[in-house]
Amino acid sequence: VAAVVRAYRALPFVDRASLATGAQAAGAAAGATVMLDPSILTDLVESRRWRSIGRVASRRFRPLGRFGVLVQAELWRPVRHPSALVVWAALLLTTYAVAAALPGSAGPAQVVLGFLAAGRLTGGLRAVNRSAGLRRALGGGDTLVTLAHLVVPAVAVLVWYAASLPAVRSGVGVVDGVLVLGTVAAAYRAATRPPMTYGGAAADTPFGMIPVDLVRQVVRGPDVVGALVLVQMIWG
């Protein structure tokens, strides 16, 4: 009710520019839903987010080589737009809330929410993966560029599991190392997902035609998370 009242009061202030902006976002959301490609919407949101920052102060990097400079540049990304860190902290608190309300679901929640938290810090990895021109401009080879942009998500996952472990169990075991490495791998797979293709194979089942190749592309990343949830439930 409060949202409806607030929207009604804001109607006199809606101009043509606002309508055009909203229509673009609505079109991107519809396209992402129909094409099963979330990047259609997330790319638009990320582009608007960075444009809203405007100008930032230039900073000098320490001369630590190409790899070190790329890592420093990636570290400044969440500093210039700290919303990813805010979401990361909110998801961490959500893990403890789930552990308090549903103790049996604390383990799966730790894995799923850890994956979502790591995904908020893979913006640089997504950018370099989707632009061959950007990788050539940075130089140093694709492997070096990819690893440099994977450092921040990997450290974030390690800190996540260290901070959320008390909500799940009291000790540290081998399973925790498997979960950390698996979550990093899931975040990497999701961030390096290639553009969607719709000409792949489909299987004829009693429930109709199922686009197997399309499903495979959609679950790239979450498939590893599903396996980690099973590991957590069995050995956690």
The pLDDT tens digits for 90-147 are 999 999 999 999 888 888 999 999 999 998 888 889 888 888 888 888 887 888 889 9
pTM: 0.78
How far, in Å, CA of 28 to CA of 39, rounded? 9
Q: How far apart are CA 188 and CA 149, in angstroms?
A: 10
Compute the CA torsion angle 160, 165, 167, 168 (nearest 10 deg).
120
Stretch 24-36: mean pLDDT: 78
CA distance 85 to 232: 25
Percentage of the chain surpassing pLDDT 90?
Answer: 28
